[in-house]
A and B are shown apart, each in its own frame.
Chain A
Amino acid sequence: MTEMSPMDHAPADQSRTDQPPVLDVRHLVTELRLRRGALRPVDGVSFRVGRGETLGIVGESGSGKSMTCLSLLRLLPRPGGRIAAGEVLVAGTDLTKLSEKELARDWRGRRISMVTQDPMSSLNPVYTVGDQVGAPLRYHGLAHSRAEARARAADALGRVRIPSPEARLDDFPHQFSGGMRQRVVSAMAIACAPEVMIADEPTSSLDVTIQVKMMDLYKQIQEETGVAIVLITHDMGVAASICDRIAVMYAGRIVEQGPAREIFRNPAHPYTRALLNAIPKLGEKSKRLYALGGQPPSLLDMPGGCRFAPRCTLADAKCLAAYPGDSDLGSGHRAACWRLSEEGAPDAA
């Protein structure tokens, strides 16, 4: 099994709010059974998000960010995908213990929802937008008649700032632009006012100007409803501007997490520092920001020690021998690296 580190279940982070977290993920392990063998794209991930808070998860392609999101809602590919260990607590209830039926009836879309990468393919082409946005309301018993479902769907479309929402209820997805479709998807996700919203690179397929607008919109919705947001992003700029906290993922694990300012000012983990160094200077524009040397390790052939060791300039014998546990760096800032004491407080940018 995975190594347990002493800090994993440390007392609640000093989040912006002092309330208990609405989303508390504890040592989540996700397994994918393939013909070639079983993989663990998520291997012992823990994080917490409080009400009204935004956690950003960053990391290279393939680090397991999307698999983490899918695990939270138990939407893993079937057959083959399953949660092998850990807990996903939403307002204190462990979703991993629920039956599929309970999960669909009381949780998905009602208290935790998800927006994914591709707004083009996330909407059903043969049903109207009104029907689709109304669906979560109908099935969660928040609309008792057709008229009520329409009214509340229009309301949800209005909340994501779609102009003249009533008039667009009977339109089909292909009659909307890419940015507007992502708003429709977001309306579906927030229609029932969930406590947690997961946004997996919600804007990466959109124009930059539309991306900024969408992010502002999420922020506004958060202020209105207090929804906790988990935002997956490749864009460090976005992460810096709207996230309260940042978690850095590498090869299925969170290697460092903490308040956004801390992560940007005092990155502790060599991987985080490499990521930040790889950000192009102001003015240069690129979607995939990371230009790190080397490749992440294959999930089928994971190094025994620190997973970053093959690419780490500081790696030594100890790094190769055993995986480092989390170290608490204060105010909820934690990192998993053997050599923090030597290199833990590098100069800020």
Chain B
Amino acid sequence: MTQFVLRRVLQGLFSILGASLIIFVITRLSGDPVVLMLPPEAPEALVQQMRERLGLHLPVWQQYLVFLGDALTGDFGTSYRWDMPVRDLIFERLPATIYLASAALAFSLVLSIPFGVISAVRRGSWFDRFAKTVAMLGQAMPNFWVGLLLILVFSIHLEWMPAFGADTPAHVIMPAIALGWYPVAAQTRIVRSAMLDVLESDYIRMGRSVGVPEGVLVWKYAFRNAAVPLVTMMGVYFASMLGGAFVVEVVFAWPGLGRTVVEALFARDFPVVQAGVLFAAIMFVIANLLVDLSYGLIDPRIRHDR
């Protein structure tokens, strides 16, 4: 078990390193931030001086090593745009993104679990078709489009929901739906097909043969088995929520890491983009690690095997 965790942590570190390297190179390819920071008529000497101050005159690999070395000491540089330490900026914005991604994931599960379970129990029924339609709709529409639609209907037209910002708990509802609707189709499919298998199993028949009520068989004894494949995919879904947050946060003016990084990208605010992506990668690795640890909790065979 300890060995398994160590292996996973090591793999995670490599992923983080890889992600940071890729984003580092890409930002450097996107153009020169100094051009955006200084007025067009600024003298060449000033531009050069600025580059040197930011360390941009060094070869890219040296810049990367400097970045890594600083990052290890917790120093992510200063934002060109907001003019504050990147670390403070990230720690200010990251919680909002985690909150949104978690709310979106929760929303997707609140839909997909009952959808999948009931569709399996009543396969071929109107509910099965209804659930499939609702789930597919979320997959067919891009999340920003769902977001705009929600704003149009519930904020502008009906005036029920706040559209922008994160001032009240209600603010998270629409962005969470826009973000969380997409994976519902895939999750419903996973739950449904796992439930179909499990409901056919000998142990469910055994439970039925000793008089365990049908509802208990489905929601307790069958579901826990069927949840295993869903849980193993949770890290992937959380990651896709983090990724989707970059767009949805812009649509809803959500004060999270995603919107910050997108704005930073347009401003060629390299330190913010690099640190933002690095933290997203760290979140991704942590989420996957938690998932790997958690399905041992659900399935004792995995727990004992390791």
Chain A residues with CB under 8 Å of chain B are 73, 75, 100, 104-105, 107-110, 113-114, 116, 118, 121-127, 132, 135-136, 139-140, 172, 174-175, 185, 188-189, 191-192
B70 at interface, CB cutoff 8 A: no
Query: Are A122 and B206 in contact, CB atoms less than 8 angstroms apart?
Result: yes
Judging by beta carbons under 8 Å apart, are B211 and A124 in contact? no
For the A-B complex with A108-B210, A188-B210, A192-B210 known, give 17 more contacts whose Cβ atoms are closer than 8 Å.
A75-B205, A104-B214, A108-B209, A109-B212, A114-B209, A123-B206, A124-B206, A127-B221, A132-B207, A136-B210, A136-B211, A136-B212, A139-B211, A139-B212, A172-B304, A174-B301, A175-B304
Q: Does residue B240 face the partner (Cβ distance < 8 Å to A)?
A: no
Decide: A126 near B211, CB < 8 A? Known: A75-B205, A116-B202, A139-B216: no
Which listed residue (A124, A136, A175) contacts B203, Cβ 8 A? A124
The 20 listed contacts between A and B (C-beta, < 8 Å) are A75-B209, A104-B212, A105-B211, A107-B211, A113-B209, A114-B206, A114-B209, A116-B205, A121-B202, A121-B203, A122-B203, A124-B203, A124-B204, A124-B221, A126-B225, A132-B207, A136-B210, A174-B300, A174-B304, A189-B209
> Which of B212, B214, B299, B304 has a CB less than 8 Å from the CB of A126?
B299
Tell me the chain B residues, 4-26 only, with Cβ under 8 Å from chain A: none
Q: How many residues of B contact A (CB 8 A)?
A: 24
7 closest residue pairs by CB, A with B? A109-B210, A109-B211, A136-B210, A121-B202, A108-B211, A124-B203, A172-B300
Q: A189 contacts B203, CB within 8 Å?
A: no
Minimum Cβ distance to chain B for residue A188 (Å):
6
Residue numbers in A under 8 Å from B299 (CB-CB): 125-126
Q: Which residues of A contact B203 (CB under 8 A)?
A: 121-125
How far is it, in angstroms, between the C-alpha of A155 and the C-alpha of B147 when the chains are bound?
Answer: 59
Task: Tell me if B37 counts as interface (CB < 8 A to partner A).
Answer: no
Question: Which residues in B have their C-beta under 8 angstroms from that of A124?
Answer: 203-204, 206-207, 221, 225
Look across to chain B and name the residue whose beta carbon is closest to the beta carbon of A140: B211
Residues of B within 8 A of A123 (CB): 203, 206
